[in-house]
Structure 1
């Protein structure tokens, strides 16, 4: 528990911004000083509800020590630089920025200023995430990972024209979550190869992508991601995280190692119940994963963020460097699909935006 509530503001009052606002109102660890919203009608409507609305960043009350940036991604870079310039800590929604050049700029600026910088990959804050990382130790050397995220989005979702354009599909919108999750569990990625398809909807933007990947530790992985394929497999359906998406409890990721395998997010573990060499003629036995309390990961992320200002070290939150790495892997997949060849993550051009 923090000694004093952290004065924090939220910049951007869209859907995700208001989730942060709700978390801030519920948490005793922070004190919400302001909500920045440039749209006057939306700002006025929220003010009528008693929320502390302001029109611009310059109107944030003095004494505010941290900002949550929940604006559209193209605004992340400059807004983060402005916030850091005032000596404030930053929690910026994922992806950290639009390009690698911007990401390095934000990370280096925060390091120079000595202020906390975190990226909003909130999935890390579910209790089963740290438990999964601990259970992976029992698998021996990690050999490979296979994942599938496939949820058919409703047709009205694509009514806004921008959602039909390149850059608005599952590759850039949804894959970044998976890239950070895989990095958290398996380790850094070094190389990716991706293919995309527009077959189902025929829009400019892809509706399906298949990604092969190589990790620094030698493990290989594959991931299918689609917003056109109906299935019970995704993080949201497996974890029951999002009340707007009906849960199934089905695992959507499988990880294999030299001594066993793990299903995620149930954490069902497969391992040998015998002595000696682990090999195919003897088989493996399954152990049911433990149960965890359901939490709001946005709220948990905010509480952990507040503790950073009290000097508490945290290896769960996604810091700026980790957010940069997740962006790099995601952009590498987009670049691979564009060039129709494999791409080393370190070779992503500084200004490439995924289109």
Structure 2
């Protein structure tokens, strides 16, 4: 039981938290660090300043990590969220962990598996905690979907399908859809399906004149035989965020834009027609949309990271190894698309990237 769940436990002191990067994601992290009551705000870093007005006290906006840390001990951050562009993750993490700061790194963990392993090694050597911001795992619809799948509601799971479609976000300059968006889904398919990816094939398209891909379609298989498909693009004129898990008893469908979860049960239909009795398909049954408690996913993620730093059992934070696995999968997708061949995925070995707990 964590202290937050035990009414007899003494009050937990909020950790001092900072954010590095005040862009699209960083400004939301800054809001929660200042207002959610989980942390006390220790500052933000952005060389361009607070262009979105995310920080209440201008004196707490710093141009570099070194300036953030060059303060009295009781003003320095204990935790920091790294929300700079992907290729800047490693330098920011190196500076932070050298100062003894625990880090939550926005996904993807790094731009390549090699850099991700270097980042993890630095966290381990510094003796601090690290986690990855795969915030979709904190979406209430997906959390409830996973609970039901692992609880056996669908019986044997056959297939996991994800769609993440929408217009191009102008903020993206360093990666394509595979590393920026598909890392969400490549992380989710194994987390929801209950086992890791073993093989995958992929097709990409370049339609916007950028060096990086703007559409990807992935098909693959998990260790237990479950298949999966993932479709991601920056070409659709409307946002679609849907995850489907199909099993022997029906299908669960999560819409992560609205945080809705719906169960489509297999129907029970009898037939007096002898020839039809030999058919083994399914029919439409009852449809149930579940009432869910909705909490902001970024806040749930922050609470889990703070619980990890405090040493709570099973805090629910996404580990660095899991973040590395998503980067490895993204790399495999790009290799598969380039070679037009099915790629076998090697599991991430925990002994290679053992985290300090």
TM-score tier, shorter chain, comes to 0.7 to 0.9
Q: How many Å separate the matches in 2 of 1:53 and 1:253? A: 38
Q: Unmatched 5+ residue regions in structure 2?
A: 5-10, 269-278, 349-357
The equivalent residue for 1:142 is 157
Q: Is the deviation greater in 97-106 or in 56-65? A: 56-65
Measured after TM superposition, the shift of residue 324 of structure 1 is 0.8
Residue deviations 1:58-113 (CA, integer Å, cap 9, x gap):
22233421111111111112322332222221101111111111212222333344
Q: Secondary structure at the match of 2:58?
A: coil
* Correspondence for 1:198: 206
Q: Distance in 1 between the 2:54 and 2:166 partners?
A: 32
TM-score (normalised: structure 2):
0.79
1:290-314 Cα shifts (integer Å, max 9, x gaps): 1223322112211221222322233
Residue 43 to residue 37, structure 1, CA distance change in 2 (3 Å): farther
2:254 to 250, 264, 268: 264
1:292 to 2:299 alignment: no
Q: How far, CA to CA, are the matches of 1:90 and 1:152 in structure 2?
A: 31
Task: Say what the alpha-carbon RMSD is for the aligned residues.
Answer: 2.9
Residues 110 and 116 in structure 1, CA contact (< 8 A), matched pair in contact too: yes
Of 29, 34, 41 in structure 2, the residue corresponding to residue 25 of structure 1 is 34
Deviation readout 1:117-168 (Å, 9 max, x if unpaired): 1101112122222211111121122211223222233xxx55x8x84xxx63
Residue 46 (structure 1) shift: 7.1
Q: Corresponding residue for 2:120?
A: 107
Unaligned runs of 5+ in 1: 236-251, 349-355
Counterparts of 1:85 and 1:280 in 2: how far apart (Å)?
61
Q: Distance in 2 between matches of 1:43 and 1:223?
A: 35
- The 5-angstrom pairing of residues 157-168 of structure 1 reads 157=169, 163=173, 168=175
1:42 to partner: Cα distance: 4.7
> What does 1:118-133 align with in structure 2 at a 5 Å threshold?
118-133=131-146
CA distance in 2, matches of 1:114, 1:227: 39
1:179 aligns to what? 186
Secondary structure, counterpart of 1:285 in structure 2: strand
Structure 1 position 83 matched with structure 2 position 93:
no
Structure 1 residue aligned with 2:214: 207
| Whole-angstrom CA distance in 2 between matches of 1:47 and 1:147 | 35
Match of 2:271 in 1: none
- d(CA) in 2 for partners of 1:57 and 1:75? 12
Alpha-carbon distance in structure 2 between the residues aligned to 1:315 and 1:326: 20
In the TM superposition, what are the counterparts of 1:1-355 in structure 2 within 5 Å?
1=4, 3-39=12-48, 42=50, 50=58, 52-59=60-67, 60=69, 61=71, 62-63=73-74, 64-136=77-149, 137-153=152-168, 157=169, 163=173, 168-186=175-193, 187-199=195-207, 201-231=208-238, 234-235=240-241, 252-265=242-255, 266-272=260-266, 280-281=280-281, 283=283, 285-314=285-314, 316-346=316-346
- The number of equivalent residue pairs is 318
Give the whole-Å Cα distance in 1 for the aligned partners of 2:199 and 2:40: 42
Evaluate the alpha carbon distance shift between residue 118 and residue 285 of structure 1 in structure 2; reply closer, same or farther with a 3 A threshold: same
Question: Is residue 260–residue 284 contact of structure 1 (8 Å, CA) maintained in 2?
Answer: no
Do the aligned partners of 2:203 and 2:217 also contact (CA within 8 Å) in 1? Answer: yes
Instruction: State the Cα deviation string for residues 163-217 of structure 1 (Å, max 9, x = none).
Output: 4xxx633222211111122222113212221111235x45443332211111122
Q: Contact 2:141–2:254 at 8 Å: present in 1 too?
A: no
1:15 Cα deviation from its structure 2 partner: 1.9
CA–CA distance in structure 2, aligned partners of residues 46 and 264 of structure 1: 31
Is 1:192–1:333's contact at 8 Å kept on the other side of the alignment? yes
